[in-house]
Structure 1
Amino acid sequence: MRRMGEFDLIRRVFFRTTPAAPGVLLGNGDDAALLAPAPGRALAVSSDMLVAGRHFLPDVAPQALGHKALAVNLSDLAAMGARPLAFTLALALPRVDEAWLRALAEGMLTLADAHGCALVGGDTTAGPLTLALTVFGEVEPPRALRRDAARVGDDVWVSGVLGRARLGLALLCGELALSGPAAETARTQLLRPLPRLALGQALAGLAHAAADVSDGLLADLGHILAASGVAAELDVDALLREAAAPEVRALPPATALSYALAGGDDYELVFTAPAARRDAVQAAAVRAATPVARIGRIVAGAPAQHPLADGAGRVRLLDAHGRPYPLPDGVRLAGFDHFATIAA
């Protein structure tokens, strides 16, 4: 009997013969997949790479890693207001462990099935543990949420809670000690984020601009501001009260502010919408079963010198009375640095 090769195993674990998903004319098994968005819709395409030691701890459970690898890509589609269609997976492995690989596939494909997102191709090679995914979605172009569409007078909103994933990382790295349900919730937020696809689609055509909170609220809102050539004023008191996770608010002030404003890995949506549409935004959030909080407003700012410029400096932090917010000593407001190692 012929021994199953390592990459035969990978293909058998990941690639399944299933009925074609809507929008997928040809899935895995050929030189390329064929995708066809619905009439009047455009493809939304995004890629993310996760590297051991930079984006995740090397000893993370494989099922959680599979889930998160796809979730962070689906979060990009959520930020565009797009519906998922399909994705590809490129995988580098230092060695092939069948049990580990099957758990990775289970975490990834369970999330894919939940959102009707078909795996339609990919590649494998030997090397340091790396997962690179490209995800495809569809959206009506006039309704797409774009970073460059924020307008002066818009409200600034954020979904869910902020800082919980950064707390989860602190617990895993031994920076803080916390036990009980709050600790478990924080670790789950870090390892198994839920992409806000329902909210993104509910906001399409209603909100102006959006981004997912992957590198931290200030950094990702800054991308919107730079692309749109505007600035923002954030009510930090409102943000802490309505958007920061309760267990984050309970931390020392400098730590709480650092986690809520710059923690990263939350995969919530930060978005702008006309002030006149507040009731509609709340209604969309209810339909999507996702809480949202209004935390600031868009104001005039100088045009960006480059659309990819760092826009975090365009954010003014104010208190509830509109005065500059007094930051406590020790606050760290830099977003996630992709060239900084998180684990040896």
Structure 2
Amino acid sequence: MTRLDEKQIISLFQRIVSNRKHTHEDVETFRIGRKFGVLKTDTLVFSTDVPPGMKLEDVARKSVVACVSDFAAKGVRPLYCLVSISIPRSFSRSHILRLARGFRTASKEFGVRILGGDTNEAKELVISVTMFGVADKIVRRSGAKAGDSILVTGRFGRTSAGLEIILGKRKSDKKFASLAKRSVYHAVPRLEFGIDAAKYMTSAMDSSDGLSTTLVEMSAQSKKKFLIVKLPADTALDKFARMNSMNPLSLIFNGGEEYEIVITARQKDVIRIKQIAKKNGVPLTEIGHVQNGSGVFLQGHKAPIRDLGWKHFSN
């Protein structure tokens, strides 16, 4: 039997179930008068999405972060959400209280009101969050133009390294290990930055499936070539990679769950975006530029960067 990957499954459902053309976006939108209603749903499954040692409070928060990050990349403030939670019979009152506290923390942190949801019993913890907001416009994945700059928030590779450290597979110095593990357990979506900078973006996408996946998808949707000339990582990642005989490019491009934003913008707007990033305390790196053509290339390399990020049903 042929095993389908995530994109193939989505395409199959779109063709059979939906009468809408697939938008290839982080969120779904619909018209409300002159505005857009914005919806996003995301599911967390304990056995595949929760690393060892993560507190239940952070598990609940993570399920909300996944949706908030997509809203951030679209420049939209989320307003409300529904939470459906399936709980194993082994969970005690203490377990459930810890989850509830995590949802309360996320609600306050991101200004999202949890209206309600559903509960069920399952063999393991499963959380589905559906989020809603309203926007005047949406920053699409497909708007990059030749001459635009490519920028990313945050530092890439830390989350991949952090997971390796948590799983006990790699060694690291204490300072980098602390930063890397925190990026896994307590990711911070760039919500306020995304909302403030949206007006200057020509395209944007959440990076939680991996930087290579995001760049390849934006390049394909925009029908443009993306040339990468600078890596969005710090020297500590290079040290970690050397210490463990790993390829730093793989850590940077092929990780996942970094919840950063990949942006294209006109060169004249880059200064303004950098100012907004500084105001919001968000690290920002200009990593390349958009050209006519196709594919994603790292300067000095002939072969294109392949989409090797995270994919359910494949990884």
| TM-score normalized by the length of structure 2 | 0.82
Q: Is the 8 A contact 2:57 2:99 kept in 1?
A: yes
Which amino acid in 2 is paired with 1:116? G
- CA drift of 1:192 comes to 1.0
2:82 is aligned with 1:74 = no
| Pairing 1:277–2:245 present | no
Higher mean C-alpha deviation, range 175-184 or range 73-82: 175-184
Deviation, 1:325, is 6.9
CA distance in 2, matches of 1:204, 1:46: 18
> What secondary structure is seen at the aligned counterpart in 2 of 1:211?
strand
What is the aligned partner in structure 2 of residue 137 from structure 1? 133
Query: Does residue 146 in structure 1 map to residue 140 in structure 2?
Result: yes
**1:207-250 superposed Cα distances (whole Å, 9 cap, x missing partner):** 11111110111101222122222220111xx21xxx21443121
Q: Higher Cα Rg: structure 1 or 2?
A: 1
Aligned amino acid, residue 317 of structure 1: L
The aligned counterpart of 1:99 is 94
The 1-side partners of 2:285 and 2:275 are apart by 13
Identify the match of residue 106 of structure 2 among 88, 99, 111: 111
- Residue 203 of structure 1 corresponds to which residue in structure 2? 197
- Look up the match of 1:255: 247
1:293 and 2:297 are equivalent in the alignment: no
Looking at structure 2, the residues matched to 289 and 39 of structure 1 have their Cα atoms a distance apart, in angstroms, of 35
Paired residues of 1:75 and 1:267 also in contact (CA < 8 A): yes
Deviations 1:107-150 (A, max 9, x none): 22212112210001211111132111111123221xx2111111
Equivalent residue for 1:64? 58
Secondary structure at the counterpart of residue 258 of structure 2: coil
Equivalent pair of 1:54/1:340 in contact (CA under 8 Å): no
- Does residue 324 (structure 1) correspond to residue 298 (structure 2)? The answer is no
One-letter amino acid of the counterpart of residue 218, structure 2? I
**1:39 shift after superposition:** 8.8
CA contact (8 A) 1:75 1:195 kept: yes
Number of positions where the alignment pairs a residue of Structure 1 with one of Structure 2? 280
Q: Which runs of 5+ in 1 are unaligned?
A: 1-36, 303-313
Change (3 A) 1:232 1:215: same
TM-superposed deviation, 1:84? 1.7
The whole-number CA distance in structure 2 between the counterparts of 1:150 and 1:246 is: 30
Q: Name structure 2 gaps, 5 residues minimum.
A: 1-30
Q: 1:124 to 1:74 in 2, by over 3 A?
A: same
Alpha carbons 2:212, 2:306 under 8 Å: kept: no
Query: What's the % identity of the aligned pairs?
Result: 28
- The code of the aligned residue for 1:273 comes to A
Task: For 1:188, give the aligned amino acid.
Answer: R
- Taking the aligned partners of 2:234 and 2:100, their CA distance within structure 1 comes to 31
Post-superposition shift, 1:49? Answer: 0.9
Contact map agreement 1:52 1:58 (CA 8 A) in 2: no
Instruction: For 1:159, give the aligned amino acid.
Output: T
Q: How does 1:179-218 map to 2 (within 5 A)?
A: 179-218=173-212
Matches of 1:175 and 1:72, distance apart in 2: 26
Distance 1:38 1:185, change over 3 A: farther
What is residue 20 of structure 2 aligned with on the other side?
Answer: none
Once residues 166 and 246 of structure 2 are traced to their aligned partners in structure 1, the CA distance between those partners, rounded to angstroms, is 20
After superposition, residues 5-84 of structure 1 pair within 5 angstroms as: 41-57=35-51, 60-84=54-78
1:287 counterpart letter in structure 2:
K
> What TM-score, normalized by structure 1, do the two folds share?
0.76
- Measured against aligned partners, the alpha-carbon deviations of 1:292-321 in whole angstroms (never above 9, x if no partner) come to 11001111235xxxxxxxxxxx21111xxx
RMSD over aligned CA atoms reads 2.4
Give the counterpart letter for 1:207 in structure 2. Answer: M
The one of 337, 340, 343 equivalent to 2:311 is 337
**CA 1:116–1:204 in 2, change beyond 3 Å: closer, same or farther?**
same
With over 3 angstroms needed to count, the CA separation of the structure-2 counterparts of 1:191 and 1:208, relative to structure 1, is same
| Letter of the 1:119 counterpart | I
